[in-house]
Structure 1
Amino acid sequence: MTDLNEPQRLSDYAVGIFIHTSSRKGIKKAIKKGLVFINDKRSYTGDFLKGKEKIDLYGELTDHQRIKPDIDIDIVYKDPFLAIINKPPGIVVSGNKARTLSHFVSYILEPSKEKDALPVPCSVHRLDYPTSGLVIFARTIKAMHGLNDLFSTRKIKKTYYAITIGDLREFGMIDNMLNGKKAVSHVELVSSVKSERFGQLNLCRLFPVTGRRHQLRIHMAELDTPILGDLKYGKKGLLLKGKGLYLMAQNLDFIHPITGKPIEVSLPITKKFKKIFPEFQE
C-alpha cells in the first residue's frame, strides 16, 4: 500500500519497489506492457497516486544482469546506500545490450545489507557512450528515491572538463531550448593553446544546470567551439578520430540523501587532457 503526503506520479513512485524491475526505465516499460496494476486495474504512465493504493507487478521483467567486466571499472565512493563509479569511455550506462556499465557494476559491487537493499545497484543518471567520468548508483530503495529527488530538483552539482576547438571568446551562461525543453549550461574558460591543426584548443569547465541529451556537446557546438573528438557535432575537416571524446564528468557535489552529510567526489584529469595542457593544475 502506498503511503504519500502528496500526489506522486506512478512512474516516479514505483522506482525501486519491485525486486526484478527496479530502474525507472524498467518501470516505464512494465507499465507500457500492461504489467503494473493499481487496485487491480491496469495502470498507465500518466497515473498519479494519492495514497493507500495497492500496486502489483504481474509477470517478470528482469532488466539487470551480472556480467564480468572486460575493462577496469573503478568504484570511487561506496557506502551502504549508494556508490559512485568512474565510467570509462566507449560504454553505455544501461540498456538492452549485455555490455553495459550497469551490468558490470552489478558484478563487482555486492548488494547492500540494508533492509531495503536493491538486488543490484541501479544508475540514477547517465553519461553518453563516448563520455567518461562519475556516475551515481543507488544501492537501496530509499536512496534511489532520494537521489531521484535531488536530480529532479537540481541539487546535485556536476562539473565536467572538456577540450574544445576554435576561438572561445564567449563564455558564461548558455540558456536555450533543446528538443522543446529548456537547457542551461555554464561555461568557464580555463586555458587556451595554439594548435597547428585546429587553430586553437581550449580547456573548459562546464556546469550543466539541466540534463538534456547531449546538452554540453550541442551547447559547445552552438558556440562554434565543438568538443575535440566529437564525431557527431564536430566540424567537418576538424574531426579527431581514434582518440575519443574530450569530455569527462570530473566532479559531483551533493548532500547525501540518507545520512545528510555533504558528498564531494572528484577525478584527476585524464592523461589525454594532460598531454594537451601539461601545466594545468586542478
Structure 2
Amino acid sequence: MTAENRITESHTVPPELSDRRLDQVAAELMPGHSRSRLQSWIKSGQLTVNGRACKPRDKVMLDDRLELDAEPEVQVSWQAESIELDVVYEDEHLLVINKPAGLVVHPAAGHADGTLVNALLHYAPEVDKLPRAGIVHRLDKDTSGIMVVARSLIAHTSLVEQLQDRTMGREYEAVMVGTITGGGTVDAPIGRHPRDRKKMAVVKAGKPAVTHYRLVERFAAHTHVRCQLESGRTHQIRVHMAHIKHPLVGDPLYGGRMRLPPGTTDELRDVLAAFQRQALHARRLTLEHPATGEVLSWETDLPADFTGLLAALRAHREALEQDAL
C-alpha cells in the first residue's frame, strides 16, 4: 500500500491532556476514529508515542508526540443501500449533503440499516476504505441540515484537523423555550450525565465546550436564535441551551414537558404538540478545501416543519399584539 493511501496523523499532547491514558488522549486528539479502532492501532504499534509503541493504559505527558500511520480497513459489516441523498456539493474529495430530520448517521444497535452510512456506501462506494465511512462530524438523528463527508484520505485528514483547530465554521438555527434580550456565550464542559447514560450534561470533569448564540427573532414565549460552535461535543447546543434554562422546542431528552405560553391559541398548541424533534437545523458550513485550499461555504434552507413552527409562533405574537391594542 502506497504512503498516500495510508491514514497518517501527528499530534502534540497539550497541557490539558497531560498525564492521562494514551487511549483517552488519542480519542480526544483524533475524534474522526472510533475508540476501538484507536486501541487496536495502539496495540498493533501503528499509533506510537515519540516513535515508541505503548499500551493503551500508558500515561502520556505534555508535548509527547502521537503519530498514527495505519492501513484503512474496509467496513465490511455495513451494507450499501439505495437511499436518496440531498447532495449540495460534491467532487473527488468532498460530499456535502443536506440531512433530513429522522435519518440516523451511523449504524448502531437498533439502527443496523437505513442510515446515512448505508446511503453513502451506495452513492460513493470509495468511502468504505475511510474511517467511519468518511464521516468526521455528525448530526443527531432528529437534527436537520448540512454536513460534510470525506471521500479521500487527504480530505479526511484535513477535515479532522480543521475540526480540531476550530477553523471549520458551523452555524445552526434553533428555537428555544423562553425569551432572551440578546445573544451570549455558553462556556461549560460537557460529559456523560452522571445518572442517565443516554444523556449528556454540563459536568466539571467534562470536555471543554463553547457555544455562541445570538438573537434572530423573539416571540411571546420563545426565541429564534443562531448558534455557532467552537467545539463539537455530543448534543452540545441542546445541552448548553437547557443549561441556561432555555431548552430547545420539541427536545425529547432535554426539553422536559411541553410548556404553553399564556394565551396560546389552538393553532399554536397543535403546532407545538406536533413538533416531535428538537428545533435545530445546521444552516451553514464553511471550510477550507483539502486539496485546493480554497475557502468554501454552503447554506441550506430551513425545512418545512421548522418554517411552519416559526410561522405559528409569529402568528401567535401578532395576535397578542392585536389584542393589546
Normalising to structure 1: TM-score of the pair?
Answer: 0.76
User: Runs of 5+ in structure 2 lacking a partner?
Assistant: 14-21, 47-52, 192-205, 260-271, 315-325
| Residue 130 (structure 1) shift | 1.2
Instruction: Tell me the amino acid that sits aligned with residue 65 of structure 1.
Output: Q
- Aligned residue number for residue 122 of structure 2: 107
Give SS of 1:277's match: helix
Instruction: Tell me the amino acid that sits aligned with residue 145 of structure 1.
Output: T
User: Runs of 5+ in structure 1 lacking a partner?
Assistant: 16-22, 195-199
- Aligned residue number for residue 229 of structure 1: 250
- Aligned residue number for residue 197 of structure 1: none
| Residue 220 (structure 1) shift | 1.2
Of 51, 55, 66, which residue of structure 1 is paired with 2:80?
A: 66
Instruction: Tell me the amino acid that sits aligned with residue 166 of structure 1.
Output: G
Runs of 4+ aligned residues of structure 1 deviating over 3 Å after TM superposition are 1-12, 30-36, 41-51, 53-57, 59-64, 117-121, 239-243, 276-280
Check whether the contact 1:165–1:201 (CA below 8 A) recurs between aligned residues.
yes
Matched, 1:128 2:140: yes
- Aligned residue number for residue 24 of structure 1: 33
Of 263, 276, 301, which residue of structure 2 is paired with 1:268?
A: 301
Structure-2 change in CA distance of 1:80 and 1:6 (3 Å): same
User: Mean alpha-carbon deviation: is it higher for 143-152 or for 81-90?
Assistant: 81-90
Give SS of 1:189's match: strand
Instruction: Tell me the amino acid that sits aligned with residue 101 of structure 2.
Output: P
Q: CA offsets per residue over residues 152-178 of structure 1, 9 Å max, x none? A: 000001000011111223521111222
Normalising to structure 2: TM-score of the pair?
Answer: 0.67
Check whether the contact 1:159–1:206 (CA below 8 A) recurs between aligned residues.
yes
Pairwise mapping of residues 1-282 of structure 1 onto structure 2 (< 5 A)? Answer: 24-25=33-34, 28-32=35-39, 37-38=44-45, 44=56, 62=76, 64-69=78-83, 72-96=84-108, 97-111=112-126, 118=130, 121-169=133-181, 171-179=183-191, 180-194=206-220, 200-238=221-259, 240-278=273-311
Check whether the contact 1:82–1:137 (CA below 8 A) recurs between aligned residues.
yes
| Residue 245 (structure 1) shift | 2.0
- RMSD over aligned Cα, in angstroms? 3.6
CA distance in structure 2 between the aligned counterparts of 1:147 and 1:214, rounded to whole angstroms = 20
Identity fraction in percent: 25
Structure-2 change in CA distance of 1:203 and 1:144 (3 Å): same
Check whether the contact 2:247–2:254 (CA below 8 A) recurs between aligned residues.
yes
Check whether the contact 1:161–1:249 (CA below 8 A) recurs between aligned residues.
yes
How many residues are matched?
256
